[in-house]
Structure 1
Amino acid sequence: MNPIDVQFVVGISGYFVKDLQAVRQSPQYNPLGDEKILPQTPGFKSIVQAGQVISILLHLPTGGIAVGDCVDVIFSGAASRDPLFVADEHLEVLESIVRPWLLRCDISSFRQNAEKVESEFLDPQRGCKLHSAIRYGLTQALLAATAQVHGCTIAEVISHEWNTAISDRPIDILASCHRNDTLQLDRMIMKQASLLPHASFVHVSDVGPNGSILADYVRFVAGRVRARGCSGYWPRLHFDVYGTLGDLFSNLKQLATFLNELAHAAQPYDILIESPIIASSKAEQIQQLAELRKLLLQYPTRVKIVADEWCNTLEDIKEFADAGAVDYVQIKMPDLGGIDNSIEAVLYCGVKGIGCCLGGSANETEISARITAQVALATNPDFLLSKPGIGADEGLTILTNEMLRGIALTKRSRRMSRI
């Protein structure tokens, strides 16, 4: 079965994109833009720009329409990621090369089509694979199309083609909150988010002298959960520091000591720190995080480390997992390109006994978020990142309800097959 028509629609994504290099190197930083700070990463015209999306619409012979959204992450072009995604730069290759292939594509199965997206297409302007955002959106649309053809959920397609078991409960979600929005944090506590608040610390000034602002904030969040949470609510606390702690502390022993202090500030809750260090290369990143993890083993209350930067592709994730460099990796789905790579990444982490977040970016859309929820049901990662946007409520709602619907539909399908 082949699509009968294809459309490409340019729109807006769920957040915005930032020049991470310029932000980290600027003495002062305005989160919504500062004309005095010049961009340093290729493709950026200013340090903060509105995110873009290309929606791929596959018109099916059944009358249905399968949709996938091409999006990139907030900090595009950083730490080996593909460059900033500018929609207009990719429309020509979509129209001239991808459209004819899609119209010939047999959508009755997904996995082989995803492998072709990854291996057979070259962007003539860049001389390499199609941009990761394009591969991400293409495979979303193809996966959704296969599910429609067979009248089943996306999770069931993945379960069938990868021989996995579909979860009978929703996967935990990390609710991503703004640091300065206490009401948002309170709402996530009220809704019993499994992990919170993410609360990005992008600039070294955000964490304060000797990390004092970060430590105070960790202590505040733990206290807020104790005061506002209901009996039995026991979330994990997660904070994304974008390498600022590596900038602040001159050696790994000092950093490990500070992370132990954060663990005490978070008590009685477990704490996860994402990207404590951003090194200048992947090899150095793996080495430093592995050494830091060993240092943390000496403390009875241990901070769990999450890898993000330099851990962008399926191959990267395998290297981090093989090295035992971290406790968790964030599988940042737009960076991995094809959805099949994210599926393989979760399964590989499971084999290696390393935790994983099936994540992505606030810069995504409700389409990619719903597909992520279905992938999660079929692959069982440790947790998801709320998306799109950083409204927390919206992402938590989209992901939770999509998983609950998927579980209900799967159970119904099993009952009907026994009749």
Structure 2
Amino acid sequence: MKIADVVFVAGLSGYFNKDLQAVKAGAKPNGTFLEGKPLTSGYTQIVQAGAIISVLLVLEDGSVAVGECADVIFSGLAGRDPLFIPREHLPTLESVVRPWLTGRDVGRFRANAEEVDRMEVAGKRLHTALRYGLTQALLNATAVAGRETGAEVIAREYGSQLQRQPVGILASCHRGDALQLDRVIMKRAAVLPHASFTLAKDLGREGEVLMEYAGAISRRIREVGAPDYKPRIHLDLYGTLGDLFGDDLEGLADYLVRLGEAAQPFDLLIESPVIARSRAEQIETFQRLKDLLRSRGSRVGLIADEWCNTLEDTRAFTQAKACDFVQIKTPDLGGINNSIDAVLFCKANGMGCCLGGTANETDISARVTAQIGLATGPDFLLSKPGIGADEGLMILTNEMLRTLALAGRRAATA
């Protein structure tokens, strides 16, 4: 089956982009908006609506395969590609990518994905968002042409095994929404609540606000959760503990030990407690912090996100054993072939991983992530798009259940 035509359509993402440099520099909140001048290249406002490009591959039989190009909330930060602005990339898609796609056989996903992921224009690789959406569409095209699911395509071409049950999901919630927290407890999310802390002042002068928050999450789970419900508590700190403690890693480690105790009896996962100035420094800092926690007998798990953007970065953090988990932030890796390789590399080398991404994605990219998860078996997925939690849990869970049902039916009738 070949691609007969290609359509590109600019649209909206499930969230927004935010200039984290400007946020940390003291931009003044005004509801969702932040007043002040952006500091990161490409931003016209500190907070602005996220944008995507839909890639529609029209196959010879008239069927259509879809992928969507999206970037993360904090684009342009910590080694990431610049803010994704569709109008800047549509000319390249039309003049260079369309001719490459038109007439291409979609019988094999991996080879096509790796080729477009390596594509260069004027000596530069395509933006990660473009590579992300194009490879989603190619996976869907191979699946449509073969009358199978994307997960089955991946498992066959990469030699992996389909999971027998849906992968657990980290339900990403707004920090101040107690009703939302109750709903994800009701729905037995495997990990919760994410609850972004982007400014050191959000933690309290000595971290007391964060400490109380962790304790409150634990208490609420015990109050309203089923007796056999044992989720992990996850908090994303965006480097704010580094802002609070500076170079005092001993003090930071002591604080994390107490934070883990506040979350008991549930295990605690902390994402990005520190954001360093380079990948090498981030790896070294995480290694030291992990060692300090273990020397104190703490089970608090560390998750790397910032500076762990690419497949190469994932391998570097894994080989250094710098953390307990890496977040495989799917848009940052470009082609989804890299996310697939990243999960499989982590599993082969004893590193935990979240097949994550960003609230700034779409329902299409979330469904593709669910397919990858079933084919590769990460420790958990991130609910997306948006931070409504309910919608992300629904999209990912139902996509996995449908896929498992279809794969099971085929296996039973083979």
SS of the residue corresponding to residue 242 of structure 1 reads coil
Q: Where does 1:3-402 land on structure 2 (aligned, <5 Å)?
A: 3-26=3-26, 28-30=28-30, 32-35=32-35, 37-119=36-118, 121-124=119-122, 127-250=123-246, 251-402=248-399
Moved more, 326-335 or 408-417: 408-417
CA distance in 2: counterparts of 1:95 and 1:205, whole angstroms: 46
CA distance in 2: counterparts of 1:415 and 1:295, whole angstroms: 51
8 A Cα contact 1:17 1:75, kept in partner: yes
Alignment partner, residue 409 of structure 2: 412
SS of the residue corresponding to residue 3 of structure 2 reads coil
Give percent identity, aligned residues only.
58
SS of the residue corresponding to residue 231 of structure 1 reads coil
8 A Cα contact 2:272 2:303, kept in partner: yes
Cα deviation digits, residues 50-85 of structure 1 (max 9, x gap): 000100000111221000000000000000000000
8 A Cα contact 2:303 2:323, kept in partner: yes
**What residue ranges of structure 2 are gaps of 5+ in the alignment?**
none
SS of the residue corresponding to residue 356 of structure 1 reads strand
Deviation for aligned residue 1:172 = 0.5
Deviation for aligned residue 1:32 = 1.8
Residue identity opposite 2:56 in structure 1:
L
CA distance in 2: counterparts of 1:243 and 1:210, whole angstroms: 15
SS of the residue corresponding to residue 125 of structure 2 reads coil
CA distance in 2: counterparts of 1:30 and 1:207, whole angstroms: 20
CA distance in 2: counterparts of 1:402 and 1:92, whole angstroms: 33
CA distance in 2: counterparts of 1:157 and 1:193, whole angstroms: 28
Deviation for aligned residue 1:118 = 1.6
CA distance in 1: counterparts of 2:201 and 2:382, whole angstroms: 25
Deviation for aligned residue 1:300 = 2.8
| Count of aligned positions | 413
CA distance in 2: counterparts of 1:235 and 1:182, whole angstroms: 17
CA distance in 1: counterparts of 2:99 and 2:31, whole angstroms: 42
SS of the residue corresponding to residue 34 of structure 1 reads strand
SS of the residue corresponding to residue 237 of structure 1 reads strand
Cα deviation digits, residues 6-34 of structure 1 (max 9, x gap): 10001000000000111112165456222
Cα deviation digits, residues 150-202 of structure 1 (max 9, x gap): 10010000000000000010000000000110000000001110000000000
Deviation for aligned residue 1:298 = 1.8
TM-score by length of 2: 0.98
CA distance in 2: counterparts of 1:53 and 1:306, whole angstroms: 27
CA distance in 2: counterparts of 1:200 and 1:97, whole angstroms: 39
CA distance in 2: counterparts of 1:344 and 1:24, whole angstroms: 34
Residue identity opposite 1:261 in structure 2:
R
Deviation for aligned residue 1:285 = 0.4
CA distance in 2: counterparts of 1:371 and 1:288, whole angstroms: 33
CA distance in 2: counterparts of 1:27 and 1:255, whole angstroms: 26
Residue identity opposite 1:25 in structure 2:
A
CA distance in 1: counterparts of 2:30 and 2:372, whole angstroms: 36
Deviation for aligned residue 1:299 = 2.5
Cα deviation digits, residues 345-385 of structure 1 (max 9, x gap): 00000011010000000000000000100100000000000
Instruction: Describe the shift of the 1:31–1:115 C-alpha distance in structure 2 as closer, same or farther (beyond 3 A).
Output: farther
8 A Cα contact 2:27 2:34, kept in partner: no
Deviation for aligned residue 1:104 = 2.7
8 A Cα contact 1:219 1:266, kept in partner: yes
CA distance in 2: counterparts of 1:56 and 1:80, whole angstroms: 26
Deviation for aligned residue 1:98 = 0.3
8 A Cα contact 1:29 1:203, kept in partner: no
CA distance in 2: counterparts of 1:46 and 1:232, whole angstroms: 46
8 A Cα contact 1:189 1:225, kept in partner: yes
8 A Cα contact 1:308 1:330, kept in partner: yes
CA distance in 1: counterparts of 2:311 and 2:203, whole angstroms: 31
SS of the residue corresponding to residue 99 of structure 2 reads helix
Deviation for aligned residue 1:268 = 0.3
Moved more, 295-304 or 97-106: 295-304
Residue identity opposite 1:122 in structure 2:
E
SS of the residue corresponding to residue 187 of structure 1 reads helix
Deviation for aligned residue 1:42 = 0.4
Residue identity opposite 1:105 in structure 2:
R
Residue identity opposite 2:10 in structure 1:
V
SS of the residue corresponding to residue 5 of structure 1 reads strand
CA distance in 1: counterparts of 2:298 and 2:90, whole angstroms: 51
